[in-house]
Chain A
Amino acid sequence: DGGITQSPKYLFRKEGQNVTLSCEQNLNHDAMYWYRQDPGQGLRLIYYSQIVNDFQKGDIAEGYSVSREKKESFPLTVTSAQKNPTAFYLCASWGGRDTGELFFGEGSRLTVL
Chain B
Amino acid sequence: GNSVTQMEGPVTLSEEAFLTINCTYTATGYPSLFWYVQYPGEGLQLLLKATKADDKGSNKGFEATYRKETTSFHLEKGSVQVSDSAVYFCALSDENTNAGKSTFGDGTTLTVKP
For residue B32, which residues in chain A have a CB less than 8 angstroms away from its CB? 100
Given contacts A40-B106, A90-B43, are A33 and B101 in contact (CB under 8 A)? yes
Chain A residues 30 to 59 lying within 8 A of chain B, measured CB to CB, are 31, 33, 40-43, 45, 48, 50, 58
Segment among A13-21, A68-76, A77-85, A102-110 that sits at the interface with chain B:
A102-110
Interface size class, chain A: 20 to 34
- Number of interface residues, chain B, beta carbon within 8 A: 25
The distance from the CB of B98 to the nearest CB of chain A, in whole angstroms, is 8
With A and B bound together, what is the CA distance between A52 and B106 in angstroms? Answer: 30
Q: Residues of A contacting B46 with CB < 8 Å?
A: 101-102
Contact between B89 and A107 (Cβ–Cβ < 8 Å)?
Answer: no
Task: Mark B residues whose CB is within 8 Å of A.
Answer: 4, 32, 34, 36, 41-46, 49, 51, 89, 91, 93, 95, 98-102, 104-107
12 contacts between A and B (CB under 8 A): A31-B99, A42-B107, A43-B104, A92-B43, A94-B100, A97-B99, A101-B46, A102-B36, A102-B44, A104-B44, A107-B41, A107-B43
Interface set of A (CB-CB < 8 Å, partner B): 4, 6, 31, 33, 40-43, 45, 48, 50, 58, 90, 92, 94, 96-97, 100-102, 104-107
